[in-house]
Amino acid sequence: EAGVAQSPRYKIIEKRQSVAFWCNPISGHATLYWYQQILGQGPKLLIQFQNNGVVDDSQLPKDRFSAERLKGVDSTLKIQPAKLEDSAVYLCASSFLTGYPRGEQFFGPGTRLTVL
């Protein structure tokens, strides 16, 4: 079974530039998550989709971050404009089940973003 795919694996940009990350979840997984993991911290949920609808985006900095999952499959996360504090690993995860009992989340390899 193919895992969660993410690209690019690494990205270096200068502050105020824009960047986009792509994620393709495991086939059949209705729920997709984007996490931000800053060095030395645990992953922090940015946004959760169920199919193509947003379930939770309460921790997404909406002034600069946006995400979409138009056809309910793959998703893109964009940062515009980037700040130094956005340097982190961006993890995408997907799960088959929703609600309770909660389903296991499968994580992709992540994208390491460095903002100079």
CB of 11 to another protein, least distance (A): 14
Kindly tell me which of 20 and 45 has the beta carbon lying closer to another protein: 45
CB of 64 to another protein, least distance (A): 22
Kindly tell me which of 27 and 58 has the beta carbon lying closer to another protein: 58
Residues at the interface with another protein (CB under 8 A): 4, 31, 40-45, 48, 55-56, 89, 91, 95, 97-110, 112
- Provide the strand spans (E) within the chain: 5-7, 10-13, 19-24, 31-37, 44-50, 53-56, 65-68, 75-79, 88-95, 106-107, 111-115
CB of 81 to another protein, least distance (A): 25
Kindly tell me which of 26 and 81 has the beta carbon lying closer to another protein: 26
User: Whole-angstrom Cα distance, residue 8 to residue 23?
Assistant: 9
* Cis previous bond, 109, omega within 30: no
Kindly tell me which of 83 and 102 has the beta carbon lying closer to another protein: 102
User: Whole-angstrom Cα distance, residue 116 to residue 4?
Assistant: 28
Q: Residue written as tokens 């992540």?
A: 110
CB of 83 to another protein, least distance (A): 22
